[in-house]
Structure 1
Amino acid sequence: MISKLDLYKVFCQVGKSKSFSKAAEQLFMTQPAVSQSIMQLERELDTRLFNRTPKGVTFTDEGKLLFEYTHSAINLLDAGEEKILEFKHLTVGELKIGVGDTISRYFLLPYLEAFHNSYPNVKFTILNGTTIELCDALKSGEVDIAICNLPIEDTSIEKLPCFEVQDTFVYGEKFKKILSKPLSLKELVKLPLIFLEPNSNSRKFVENYMITQGIRLEPEFELGSHDLLLEFARINLGVACVTREFSQDYLDRGLLHEVQLQEQIPHRSIGICYLKRVPLSPAATKFVENIMK
């Protein structure tokens, strides 16, 4: 008799394929067997999970809700099975990392290169996203670890600070005369400001600090990437809030200049994050060790 777990796996595949026949192909089952499995699950739950149409199937409201839970659960189970199958010396395996574009480019790449050179048979899967998206990916089992901007207020996630960074403001030639002397934050916010989008963790950190100083931000531009911040500042569209360590090339080449602030914004950290309740795979453990050396 087919197990309850197998029924849920069939249910998830039908939901992703939107077709009994396509799901059957993916699962190496016959279409009648797939259909019988779904009917059995519907009987056990006393709930219709799919709307059947000549063109395929769609979720009922109940089916859609159940899929959200079962999909996450099966991803976690699959991740667990994969970890068990990895060899101790990393001769095979997969390392799934969640990271934002900026941290990937300016921080993570050297570690990826060194790890790949040491363990060439370990496959990398990189998922890009915001800190919020990466935390969700950790919880659903889509990634083993995430490299994120801290702080993160989530008790289910372990956070290991690994790299300290400083938020600062930069400007192009047009603002050089205005910003030739140290400026207070209250004076700074009178200028046209360029920030990351509000859902960015690094933006929230600076914004929260400003609020403690009695200052509310009203940026002229809100952008989706750190590189765009640098380019907008370079062409004199405003003063950009950036990460100093990730802007050093622009500063060294004289393309941008750093605002001398009277009050320095506190340092923050980039950290390695993973679920407290899920043991790290051998590959993830070794990768974390390499970064934390």
Structure 2
Amino acid sequence: MSLSLRQLEIFEKIASTGSVTRAGEELLLTQSAVSMALSQLEQLSSVPLFERSGRRLVLNDAGRLLLKDARDILLAVKRVEQQLQGETGQLAGELLVGGSTTIANYLLPSLLGDFARSYPHTRVQLTVGNTQQVADLLAAGQLDIAFVEGPCHNRELVAVHWRDDELVVVAGAEHPWGRDKRVTPEQLAAAPWIMREKGSGTREIFEDAMDRAGIRYDIALEFGHTEAIKNGVAAGLGVSCLSRIAVDRELEYGRLVEVASPLLLDRSLTLLKRRNSHCSALLNAFLKVSGGVC
């Protein structure tokens, strides 16, 4: 029995989903076909690659070792396929795009739709995380390109300005700040803030702005999703500082109120790529649609 690319692809999908059933659904294979491929791979390795935790499959040390090499092999094969397909004049292939939460939720969906309509034989897989998570995935070769809203501290990556953005301080419609719509540094310091987790670009920009203003502050609640923060602010649990593109609709309908502050909250949305990485025809086409530069 010899090792096949299909077995590696199935193994990688099981590892990423933690489920034989989910892997089969995403690869359009039956559960029995996925189970058989995994069984054959484990026969070749002579040791199990997963441990079962409840209903989820979790990689063991042997599986984690194999996963890194498997992903490197699959990524190399995908690049060869894209190069060969690009030479035929028919743009095709799969692109792995990363987006930090605000960008992925509010900007990328329409761009992905435009790209899909322009290039119907391509497929884009979008991975969402905070800025640090997405940057780490790109550096590890698990993404082709990434769009983030916070500073990048990874020296393996190159950051290029993509778009301008602005954070705004927001409060609920019934909050005392909602009447004056302006706050002092003392009020900012005393407020219960609801913010994203550490590693979030929005959180880092907010903290830098508060530090530059010399304001000590208290993070009362941390939520991993912008929608949860907006709901918490609207419910009166605290105030927040979020991207204008994320709260535009809530401001328009009066669910949230923008509050003027002495903070400097302008920021740059950034395109990240690996140093010396090759810009394929597929990636170049996607960046033209999204307004980026390869």
2:162/2:271 contact within 8 Å kept: yes
- Relative to structure 1, the CA distance from residue 59 to residue 92 in structure 2 (aligned partners, 3 Å threshold; closer, same or farther) is closer
Q: State the 1:243 CA deviation.
A: 0.8
Match in the other structure for 2:144? 144
Residue by residue over 1:216-273, the C-alpha shift from the partner in whole angstroms, topping out at 9 and shown as x without a partner, is 3321211111112211111222111111122111111111111111x23231121221
- Relative to structure 1, the CA distance from residue 141 to residue 251 in structure 2 (aligned partners, 3 Å threshold; closer, same or farther) is same
Match in the other structure for 1:46? none
Match in the other structure for 2:207? 207
Residue by residue over 1:156-190, the C-alpha shift from the partner in whole angstroms, topping out at 9 and shown as x without a partner, is 11222211111121111322467505323342120
Secondary structure in 2 matching 1:162: strand
Q: State the 1:196 CA deviation.
A: 1.0
Secondary structure in 1 matching 2:174: helix
Secondary structure in 2 matching 1:268: strand
The whole-number CA distance in structure 1 between the counterparts of 2:78 and 2:140 is 10
1:10/1:38 contact within 8 Å kept: no
Q: Which amino acid aligns with 2:269?
A: I
Match in the other structure for 1:217? 217
Aligned length: 270
Match in the other structure for 1:44? none
The whole-number CA distance in structure 1 between the counterparts of 2:91 and 2:76 is 22
Confirm or deny that 1:246 pairs with 2:246: yes
- Relative to structure 1, the CA distance from residue 231 to residue 90 in structure 2 (aligned partners, 3 Å threshold; closer, same or farther) is farther
1:207/1:216 contact within 8 Å kept: no
- Relative to structure 1, the CA distance from residue 205 to residue 82 in structure 2 (aligned partners, 3 Å threshold; closer, same or farther) is farther
Secondary structure in 2 matching 1:87: helix
- Relative to structure 1, the CA distance from residue 74 to residue 220 in structure 2 (aligned partners, 3 Å threshold; closer, same or farther) is same
Secondary structure in 2 matching 1:143: coil
Match in the other structure for 2:285? 286
Taking only aligned residues, the RMSD between alpha carbons, in angstroms, comes to 3.7
1:51/1:59 contact within 8 Å kept: no
- Relative to structure 1, the CA distance from residue 24 to residue 193 in structure 2 (aligned partners, 3 Å threshold; closer, same or farther) is closer
Structure 2: runs of 5+ lacking an equivalent: 16-32, 53-57
Larger radius of gyration: 1
The whole-number CA distance in structure 1 between the counterparts of 2:210 and 2:104 is 27
Match in the other structure for 1:97? 97
Secondary structure in 2 matching 1:26: helix
Confirm or deny that 1:26 pairs with 2:37: yes
1:164/1:269 contact within 8 Å kept: yes
Q: Which amino acid aligns with 2:229?
A: L
The percent identity for this pair of structures is 23
The whole-number CA distance in structure 1 between the counterparts of 2:196 and 2:269 is 17
Q: Which amino acid aligns with 1:115?
A: F
The whole-number CA distance in structure 2 between the counterparts of 1:221 and 1:251 is 22
2:177/2:183 contact within 8 Å kept: no
Superposition misfits of 4+ residues, deviation over 4 angstroms: 6-17, 22-25, 58-61
Match in the other structure for 1:130? 130
Scaled by the length of structure 1, the TM-score of the pair is 0.76
Match in the other structure for 2:228? 228
Give 1:253-272 correspondences, 5 Å limit.
Answer: 253-261=253-261, 263-272=262-271
Residue by residue over 1:132-167, the C-alpha shift from the partner in whole angstroms, topping out at 9 and shown as x without a partner, is 221222133322111111310222112222111111
2:181/2:260 contact within 8 Å kept: yes
Match in the other structure for 2:66? 67
